[in-house]
Structures are given as structure tokens and as C-alpha cells.
Amino acid sequence: MPTASMNLSEITCSLRRFLDTLLPQAPGAFETTRALSPEEMTRLLSWLMRAGQCLHCVSPDHRLAHEREITEYRKEIQRLHAVLPSIHSALLKERSRLESQRERLSRAGEWMRVSRQTL
């Protein structure tokens, strides 16, 4: 089943490139310094769903033929698993920052409303 293997290889390559750009260059580093964008999250989830479909299509009779691709995919999934706490932390920090900005804008809006009443 070459198409499953080819698709899984493409997904693995995309996932590897994504993680390489997300993570610092230090060997063994598993902390990202930024939150993922909605587009990046969508892309990541799409790759994972497609990989699941590819793996589901590989019959037990052909599993050995695809073992190398599956092993490479597994390595990237392990890297992703290691970085997920850092992604979660970055998203929480971004959420906090956005909530602070929203509160600041709300206070500024209230100040403007009160200022207009005074004039």
C-alpha cells in the first residue's frame, strides 16, 4: 500500500519541519517560547487526522513494509508529546495577556464614556 506510506512520510516530514521551526535549536529542547496560531493548530490537527487515516489503512499484512515510516512518525509524535506542556503554557500566557488587554480597553472605554458625560 504505497499511498499510505507516502502520505505518512509526507505528514511526518511536515510535522518534523513544523517542530524544528517551533522549538529552539538546542539539542533536546522541548520548550517553545510562543503560542501557536489558530492556523498552526488547524494544520497540526489536520496532519494528525490524516496520519490516523493512513495508519488505519495499513493492513496487518503490510505493516512490516511500512515499519520504517511508522517508526519515523512515532518519533515525531514523541517530540510533539514532549513539547505539548510548553505549548499549553504559552497558550495560557497568551490568554492572560489578551484578558489583561481586554480589561485595559474596557477601562479606557468606561473612562471615555464618563468623560463625554462630563463635557
| Domain layout of the chain by residue ranges | 2-118
Per-residue confidence (pLDDT) for residue 29, from 0 to 100: 61
Per-residue confidence (pLDDT) for residue 64, from 0 to 100: 79
Q: What is the pLDDT along the chain (119 residues), one digit of tens a residue?
A: 334 545 899 999 999 999 998 876 655 566 766 889 999 999 999 999 999 999 888 877 777 778 899 999 999 999 999 999 989 999 999 999 999 999 999 999 999 999 888 76
Per-residue confidence (pLDDT) for residue 35, from 0 to 100: 84
Which of 84, 51, 82 shows the shortest CA–CA distance to 69? 51
Per-residue confidence (pLDDT) for residue 28, from 0 to 100: 59
Give the integer Cα–Cα distance in Å for 91 and 98. 10
Alpha helices in 1-119 (DSSP H): 2-22, 38-57, 67-118
